[in-house]
Amino acid sequence: MDTKNIVTAKAHANIAIIKYWGKLDEVKKTPLNSSISLTLDKFYTITSIERNQKLSKDFFYLNDELQNDNETSKISKILDYFRHPDEKVIVRSHNSMPTAAGLSSSSSGYAALVLCANKSFNCNKSRSELSYIARLGSGSACRSLYSPVAIWKCDIDEHKAIAYPLQCNIKLAMIIIILNKNKKEVLSRDGMRHCVETSTIFNKWVTTANDDAAKMVSLLQTNDFKAIGELMERNTLLMHETTLHANPPFSYLNSDTHACLEYIRKIRQDGFETYFTMDAGPNVKLLCRESEVHIIYKKLLEKYDESNLVMSHLVEEDYD
Ligand code: DP6
């Protein structure tokens, strides 16, 4: 194998503290609301692209498993932004976290893919171009091109949205409580579409989420951790409420999630200041001040096994 033709890139997953939930345009993945996220160091994808003129089609391996035509075609479409369509490749991706369990593997997956393709095909595309192409794979991936804090800001009148890094001084960290490693039953894409189409509170969600994003921007500037955490929780719970008001209703959360939230509220009363958020799956992510993350992690060990807890700091370095 000619190793000169293999290039590698790494990108980190992000977890939203104000959620992206709902699209105006399914193809361009234009969101209906602005979202804000933290880019986590422990959750990432490493992707390599092998260029080989002998290939007559693309191959895509995820965690060493050859993917079917449907999954491979999603990757091929993204590669077409970088290459001559006749040029076929082998893409190998490894996730540091369970795939499709609501741990945001698609955000790091598409971010790593565009970074790798940019290098492999010597394209020199800008960060914002890469962010836009990553978003065509999965909306939330556009935020993974920026760290430690990213905003995907939506201009609903212009039908446009753009991701960029948010400057703030507050030092944050997250602890992920893995309650379930299995693939989710309802993919975020399908759940989101179902809520846009049928949830009776969807208009309320869109208005509130856009207000929440604006508020979060100012809270991140003022270092008000309590207000940041409370706003994140309210935003999370309203997003999950949209699923309960869909027709038919559904939920990403299970009894373990609800027991966990009860526990978090309890330890908060005991002085462990941490706030929860959940995405399209039952797992819980806790927001902590960076200075307190070790104390909170230790407290959680009283209830959860070490193998189900991941402490993650935010990514500080740039990808270039
Ligand atoms: C609940 O980015 O996975 O995690 O654009 O359809 O690929 P598609 O959706 P995706 O949705 C993520 C939704 C979320 C909230 C968030 O990350 O903002």
On whether the CB atoms of residues 80 and 89 are closer than 8 A, the answer is no
On whether the CB atoms of residues 89 and 7 are closer than 8 A, the answer is no
| 86-90, 149-153, 157-161, 173-177, range with the lowest pLDDT | 157-161
| For residue 320, pLDDT beyond 60 | no
On whether the CB atoms of residues 140 and 20 are closer than 8 A, the answer is yes
Indicate which atom in ligand 1 lies nearest the CA of residue 15: 17
| For residue 100, pLDDT beyond 60 | no
Whether residue 35 has its Cβ less than 6 Å from ligand 1: yes
Looking at CATH, the fold of the domain delimited by 172-313 is given as: Alpha-Beta Plaits (3.30.70)
* Burial (CB count <10 Å: 0-12, 13-18, 19+), residue 27: exposed
Query: Quick one: CA dihedral 25, 116, 118, 125, positive or negative?
Result: positive
Q: What pLDDT, on the 0 to 100 scale, is given for residue 155?
A: 87
Q: What pLDDT, on the 0 to 100 scale, is given for residue 168?
A: 86
Q: Which residue puts its alpha carbon closest to atom 12 of ligand 1?
A: 140
pLDDT digits (tens, 9 = 90+) for 215-246: 999 999 998 999 999 999 999 999 999 999 99
Looking at CATH, the fold of the domain delimited by 3-165 is given as: Ribosomal Protein S5; domain 2 (3.30.230)
Q: What is the arithmetic mean of pLDDT over 121-143?
A: 97
HSE-up of residue 78 (Cα within 13 Å, Cβ side): 28
- pLDDT more than 70, % of the chain: 95
Q: What pLDDT, on the 0 to 100 scale, is given for residue 318?
A: 58
Confidence of residue 202 (pLDDT cuts 50, 70, 90): very high
Q: What is the arithmetic mean of pLDDT over 10-21?
A: 97
Whether residue 14 has its Cβ less than 6 Å from ligand 1: no
- pLDDT more than 90, % of the chain: 87
| For residue 1, pLDDT beyond 70 | no
Whether residue 279 has its Cβ less than 6 Å from ligand 1: yes
In a mutational test of the pocket of ligand 1, which residue from 15, 19, 20 has the highest number of ligand atoms less than 8 Å from its CB?
20
Whether residue 106 has its Cβ less than 6 Å from ligand 1: yes
Q: What is the arithmetic mean of pLDDT over 300-308?
A: 96
For residue 87, give every residue at least 6 positions away whose Cβ sits within 8 Å of its Cβ, in sequence order, or none. 51, 53
The DSSP 8-state label assigned to residue 126 in this structure reads: -
d(CA 109, CA 95): 8
Confidence of residue 2 (pLDDT cuts 50, 70, 90): low
Calculate how far, in angstroms, residue 5's C-alpha sits from the geometric centre of ligand 1: 33
| For residue 203, pLDDT beyond 80 | yes
Task: Compute CA distances 271 → 265, 267, 268, 302, 310, whole Å.
Answer: 10, 7, 5, 15, 21
On whether the CB atoms of residues 175 and 310 are closer than 8 A, the answer is yes
Whether residue 285 has its Cβ less than 6 Å from ligand 1: no
Query: Quick one: CA dihedral 164, 166, 172, 177, positive or negative?
Result: negative
Calculate how far, in angstroms, residue 68's C-alpha sits from the geometric centre of ligand 1: 22
| For residue 259, pLDDT beyond 90 | yes
Instruction: Record the pTM.
Output: 0.95
DSSP three-state, residue 292: helix
Task: Compute CA distances 257 → 140, 241, 276, whole Å.
Answer: 23, 14, 10
Indicate which atom in ligand 1 lies nearest the CA of residue 138: 7
Q: What pLDDT, on the 0 to 100 scale, is given for residue 102?
A: 60
Q: What pLDDT, on the 0 to 100 scale, is given for residue 98?
A: 64
Q: What pLDDT, on the 0 to 100 scale, is given for residue 186?
A: 84
* Burial (CB count <10 Å: 0-12, 13-18, 19+), residue 286: buried
Q: What is the arithmetic mean of pLDDT over 24-46?
A: 95
| For residue 3, pLDDT beyond 80 | no
Arithmetic mean of pLDDT over the chain: 94
| For residue 189, pLDDT beyond 90 | yes
- Residue 211 structure tokens: 């207000």
Q: What pLDDT, on the 0 to 100 scale, is given for residue 180?
A: 84
Find the DSSP H helices in 223-254: 225-244
Whether residue 51 has its Cβ less than 6 Å from ligand 1: no
DSSP three-state, residue 274: coil
Whether residue 139 has its Cβ less than 6 Å from ligand 1: yes
Q: What pLDDT, on the 0 to 100 scale, is given for residue 317?
A: 65
Q: What pLDDT, on the 0 to 100 scale, is given for residue 294?
A: 98
d(CA 272, CA 265): 9
d(CA 206, CA 108): 25
Whether residue 34 has its Cβ less than 6 Å from ligand 1: no
Q: What pLDDT, on the 0 to 100 scale, is given for residue 71?
A: 95
Domain ranges in the chain are: 3-165, 172-313
